[in-house]
A and B are shown apart, each in its own frame.
Chain A
């Protein structure tokens, strides 16, 4: 009997600072979907577990035994620029995947860990958290390159007007072939947020990348409009004002709060540093007195 080893993702562990960047990105706009890539590593958990034995169809008469199970650790995320902003669709280009891979390799060199692209995330503003059939198909395509690839979705701007309660939902999934049809279906992957007291360098860099990416998207859009030769001067002035207005909105909605958060965080860390220094000193004194 033929046995085939298939790596299956047991669970996803998402670092809390990476989670913060994802959430901040998803909440940046309720008009369009946003997207990014997850950087991390897959840890092998090589153990045989009968509950993961999965049988192929009877016609093939092949039993598959999933010996390798793994946990995907997501350490950081890369926010991606959109070439086409839509409210119900996102697309990651091969160039973006390639650039993200290079970035992951750089992070791997810096940290000494085998970091690579392990998944993708995108937002669902005002819609259900469950992946659409396009999302499931896209995930299946990624899994053809890497079976450990996972997908995350953040559903936000969902409000219960009666109870005046807002909701943010997030889910993790992979795709499997549907035996009944030629298509794919979603399988749920457990996801856990790993608490972190500090914020990693990669996450901080990604967080401050958001305004730069938003500005770049706006500049690209403005340049595309400005290149239209049939527009008269008045229309061009109007478009210039629209560009200024959009940038002002980005500055006040994203940059301002981000700066404020960083300054608060810095102040908090400086206070914390003082407390830690004092604690360290008293511990050292205590240790030296014990000697």
Chain B
């Protein structure tokens, strides 16, 4: 606490120095422990306002202060001649002639370049969006027209023409994988509805893994199992425009196999093939077999 003498002294100094904002820093040392091993130095700041002395918080400016993060609105006052001389000497390296900061200019220019990139790319994307929109509208219109035409054709009882039949690429890949040497099987292209699309063969490698087709069953050696797999015929969906090549039968081999893929390839080395038939497991006797999927 300020003593009465100190208060008087402070008021006199305020008058003498014409400094109403004058503050009084009170330092109070004390010994904390009896052994004099620990000491305490208290500091408090007082300001004279409206006839009374008020304590004001004293913040020791240091490097760990959190208010260093944002923009500063006040400068740290330093009257040191040497300090101001050093700062003035080197200021020109940071400031332009008009007082603006070089670093600020540079980052602003880079930011403007990035914004220009954004604007240019945005224009291009906007253009592509409009093109997509237009095309989608056109396609929707065409689909509508096609739908109408289908309806008309059906109503007229005419033969619907399959437009753009899709090739059965799984069938094509299976034939290429299992019967690579058979020219007969590669001589034409078959659609998903089992129709002839083209008289010339498909030369495209569809890059499909046909090793796990449901048609292909892993052979497991079992003394009780019948060496010949049960074959059941799959009902064809459409009898018109069938594949003109005579159906061949697929026979399973009796030797045990470990690699399903190699077993499939070994099986396909047989000259017989029946695409429309499937092998069923001996354990599934009596159950409805699953159709091969192409």
Contact = CB atoms under 8 A, between A and B. Distances in A.
Given A164-B57, A165-B44, A249 B37 contact: no
Contacts of A29: 62-64
Given A188-B33, A256-B83, A260-B78, A169 B38 contact: yes
Given A32-B64, A188-B38, A191-B36, A168 B83 contact: no
B44 A256 contact: no
Interface of A: 11, 27-32, 125, 129, 156-157, 159, 163-173, 188-193, 214, 237, 241, 244-245, 249-250, 252-257, 259-260, 262-263
B82 A263 contact: yes
Given A125-B64, A166-B44, A263 B80 contact: yes
Interface string B211-223: 0000000000000
B83 A170 contact: no
Contact of B55 (A164, A168, A244, A252): A164
21 contacts: A27-B60, A28-B63, A29-B64, A31-B63, A125-B64, A129-B38, A163-B44, A164-B45, A164-B56, A166-B43, A169-B41, A170-B39, A188-B35, A214-B63, A252-B76, A253-B62, A253-B63, A253-B65, A257-B61, A259-B78, A260-B83
B118 interface: no
Given A256-B76, A259-B80, A166 B36 contact: no
Contacts of B43: 165-168
Interface string B118-146: 00000000000000000000000000000
B107 interface: yes
Contacts, number: 110
B40 A253 contact: no
Give the bracket for the number of chain B residues in contact with chain A: 20 to 34
Nearest to A172: B37
Contacts of B270: none
B32 A169 contact: yes
Interface in B28-76: 32-33, 35-45, 55-58, 60-65, 68, 75-76
Contact of B78 (A173, A249, A252): A252
A249 B68 contact: yes
B105 to A, nearest CB: 13
B63 A250 contact: yes
A169 B68 CA distance: 26
A249 B58 CA distance: 19
B79 interface: yes
A261 B65 CA distance: 21
Contacts of A159: 57
Contacts of B78: 252, 256-257, 259-260
Main secondary structure of the interface of A (DSSP, over half): mixed
Nearest to A237: B107
Given A166-B44, A190-B35, A263-B80, A254 B56 contact: no
Given A164-B57, A263-B82, A192 B44 contact: no
Nearest to A11: B36
B80 A166 contact: no
A164 B107 contact: no
A189 B82 CA distance: 42
Nearest to A245: B68
Contacts of B45: 164
Given A252-B76, A255-B83, A188 B62 contact: no
B148 interface: no
A239 B275 CA distance: 68
Nearest to B75: A252
Contacts of A249: 63, 68
Nearest to B64: A31
Q: Please give me the 10 A-B residue pairs with the lowest Cβ-Cβ distance, nearest first.
A: A31-B64, A188-B37, A256-B78, A259-B80, A171-B38, A190-B36, A30-B64, A260-B80, A29-B63, A29-B64
Given A173-B37, A259-B80, A263-B81, A165 B55 contact: yes
Nearest to A255: B83
B116 interface: no
A186 B249 CA distance: 95
Nearest to B79: A260
Contacts of B57: 159, 164
